[in-house]
Structure 1
């Protein structure tokens, strides 16, 4: 039996970490590409009338640090129209009742997928993975515009929405 020297072990470990990083980067890039393709007016993920009026978009915050952080970051950096961040529990306040002023809401539903099966050890295991499904609500027409992108990579989806909404807003000026 060969003895693995520390240097050889270090090279193997570094190679494994580099390969793992490359795979993770490819998966993240794919999530962005999927979001780009699916978050469109044609796929009914964005209201086609968005940006034609002078309304203020409500971006819903839910008190979850990571999701709220990405919501604030991506909208502040990428969307130049009027928008505000509102905690979910404050949406029903009289302050936001004017549907001409606050016509659209950007929000998400959370869920999880479950799978079950036998692992390599022969042991039966169950797993679940959380996902988010982002959508827009046109409060005037009471129509929901869901993206068909259900993913745990919510930062990529929020970024894509912010960019697409800004592009549509500029087109509809």
Structure 2
């Protein structure tokens, strides 16, 4: 697995690198007290990627570099978004990830290695981008009411930019 972003790149170090991916399928039961099988889709949630590896204790600099990648933030103190290159992630259409959840490292009792495990979360999933396009298309198709500006986005940064532009204009 290779992560690249923020002007740098890292190949997950160590031995026995294992990658597991998962995603929830959330449905809400609408049947109430009946035997009806109605449900509502609760939306597509981001996929998760769990990575584990063993880093030899003699190569502790590799562990330090990986920890630095996990903690890295941009100038707005947001986590760095990494492009991911991995066969399983490619199969699941996971292209961008952020470090999320717990990062664990412990010294093995039997071997001279650090047992490392961490979680990555999908960033801007295919479902999210599809939903943003649908919202933009719906906003563009809706007639503007006098004095209102169509935003066409659910992205907070874009909404704030439009608000600033409107306030200046």
TM-score, normalised to structure 2's length? 0.24
Is the helix fraction higher in 1 or 2?
A: 1
TM-score, normalised to structure 1's length? 0.23
Is the strand fraction higher in 1 or 2?
A: 2
Of the two structures, which has the highest relative contact order with CA contacts closer than 8 Å and spacing of 6 or more? 1
